[in-house]
Amino acid sequence: MTSIRRRTWPTPSGEEKTAWQVDYRDAAGKRRSKQFARKKDAEAWLTTAAYQVQQGTHTPDSQSITIAKAAELWIKRGERENLEASTLAAYGQHVRLHIVPMCGDKKLSQINRPMAEGWRDQLMEKLSRPMAMRVLRSLSAIISEAQSRGYVAQNVVAGVKVRRAKREKTKVVIPTKAELKAVIETAKASAEPMAHPLALILIFAGLRASELRGLPWRCIDLKAATVTVDQRADLKNVIGPPKSEAGYRTIPLPSSAIAALKVWKLACPASEAGLVFPSLAKKAMSHQYMNINVMGAVQLAAGLAEPVLGDDAKPKLDKEQRPVIAQRYTLHDFRHAAASLWIEQRVNPKKVQRWMGHSSIQVTFDTYGHLFDQADQDAAVAAAIERELNETTASAPGTAGAGQ
């Protein structure tokens, strides 16, 4: 039984107040009520609520919680499940910087599809498309967690999407062969003895930075000339397994890398975890130190540097008014270099996927599809040139009798 009735009551100051109260029964048959300032709002709400009760998707406000509270529950669940520190940090930023300021005070039961679409639009206006997608996914995951706990009957954000824009897809940054050669030569002459083997494994094996930081000597087979990945160091330098099953893999190494590793093994400081590239404290090296102090220093010495630009697009200056210079490439850029070298050598896509540790062949094609296309085109050009030369030779006067 549902009804809308007018309520009137006096305030302490003697002023008369009026509101419209909706009385209804929820899916469990329990009597509920909700109050509105205008009759038309009460009627509109009752129409929606009655349909939700019939469909079993209605949650009374009194049984619901705010998005901010739901976000706390979601983060705590991630902590209990021991998610990666970097993953939890990213989720925390999504919640703290974007979700709570935008809609944290809203109760889950009050969210509707138009409201969710509006939040999507707000995120698109403030953030880059990839970041907006990530924050929206976090918001949807927050509501799904609350739904599983019974705080809301449906997740209206689940169907709200940020469409991918192919024209905005950024191509991977890949150092040129000349730059790779300069890095290897500079690393070999570096005063830092680990720089040379580190550069060679980066360029020829394509390991992730976390995998390099957690790489133990037991995973280097100097006889078979391979490196195996079965662990990594997370954001807090804690050693653990790869993030996915695809992370477990074995990759071939060239003789130059094996030779450099043999030399480095004799000089490498012993560490409790038997790491190939330990920190000064003989623990897992931080990402920043490996990226800037080791490979960054090599790049600066090799001349692979760029001025750092400020918000005004002008070069930043240090205290002595000199331009601030930074390395040109990140550790991940050298990972891309390894993939490009394999593809150029006609390594089949499935093997590239396996060596890169990608979870699916689609990830490989999404990232390096243009390189595979280019390799196919190059091979077709070479074959066409060879065919034309053969045809020209066969049809030249006197060719048939040559050598007779």
27-41: pLDDT as tens digits: 566 777 777 778 776
d(CA 230, CA 136): 32
As a whole number of angstroms, the distance between CA 203 and CA 181 comes to 10
Contact 361, 349 (CB under 8 A): yes
β-sheet bridge partners, residue 305: 327
Task: Enumerate domains of the chain plus CATH numbers.
Answer: 3-58 (no CATH), 67-168 (1.10.150.130), 177-342 (1.10.443.10)
Query: pLDDT at position 61, please?
Result: 59
Tokens for 27?
């899916």
Q: What pTM was estimated for this model as a whole?
A: 0.67
Task: Give the C-alpha separation, 170 to 312, whole Å.
Answer: 23
* Whole-angstrom distance, CA of residue 157 vs CA of residue 135: 12
Helix, strand and coil in the chain, % to nearest 5 = 55, 15, 35
CA-closest candidate to residue 192, choices 254, 269, 92: 269
> DSSP readout, 135-186?
HHHHHHHHHHHHHHTTS-S--TTTT------GGGPPPPP---HHHHHHHHHH
The string of pLDDT tens digits covering residues 147-189 is 888 787 778 888 888 876 655 556 788 999 999 999 999 999 9
Residue 363, CB-side half-sphere exposure with 13 Å CA sphere: 11
What is the C-alpha to C-alpha distance for residues 347 and 339, in angstroms, rounded to an integer? 9
CA pair distance 158, 341, nearest whole angstrom:
40
Other C-beta atoms lying within 10 Å of the C-beta of residue 100? 16
Q: Position 216: which residue type?
A: P
Residue 229: the pLDDT is 97
* CA 108 – CA 59 distance, rounded (Å): 9
Are the C-beta atoms of 367 and 174 separated by less than 8 Å? no
What is the pLDDT at residue 159? 85
Q: Taking every pair of C-alpha atoms in the chain, what is the biggest distance, in angstroms?
A: 124
What is the per-residue pLDDT for 70?
A: 92
Q: Between the CA of residue 222 and those of 51, 247, 257, 355, what are the distances in Å? A: 69, 21, 10, 18
pLDDT of residue 401: 46
The residues facing 8 across adjacent strands are 18
Decide if 66 contacts 108 (C-beta within 8 A): yes
Per-residue confidence in pLDDT tens, the chain, 404 aa? 577 778 787 888 878 888 877 776 765 667 777 777 787 766 765 666 665 655 555 566 556 789 999 999 999 999 998 888 888 889 999 999 999 999 999 888 778 888 899 999 999 989 888 899 999 999 999 999 988 887 877 788 888 888 766 555 567 889 999 999 999 999 999 999 999 999 999 999 999 999 999 999 999 999 999 999 999 998 888 999 998 899 999 999 999 999 999 999 999 999 989 999 999 999 999 999 999 999 999 999 999 988 877 777 777 877 777 777 889 999 999 999 999 999 999 999 999 999 999 999 999 998 898 888 887 777 676 677 667 777 765 665 554 444 44
From residue 5, give the alpha-carbon distance in Å to each of 8, 15, 32, 308: 10, 20, 14, 66
pLDDT given at position 389: 72
Query: What is the pLDDT at residue 185?
Result: 96
Q: HSE-up of 56 (CA within 13 Å, CB side)?
A: 2
Q: Identify the burial level of 124 via C-beta atoms within 10 angstroms of its C-beta, where 0-12 means exposed, 13-18 middle and 19 or more buried.
A: middle
What pLDDT, on a 0 to 100 scale, did the predictor assign at position 402?
Answer: 44
CA distances from 23 to 34, 48, 58, 394 (A): 7, 14, 14, 95
Closest CA to 181 of 337, 384, 72, 373: 337
Q: How many whole angstroms separate alpha carbon 357 and alpha carbon 251?
A: 10
Can you tell me the distance from the alpha carbon of 284 to that of 327, in angstroms, rounded to the nearest whole number?
23
Backbone dihedral angles phi then psi of residue 51, each to the nearest 5 degrees? -65, -40
Which tens digits make up the pLDDT trace of 89-125?
899 999 999 999 999 998 887 788 888 999 999 999 8
CA-only gyration radius of the chain, Å = 31
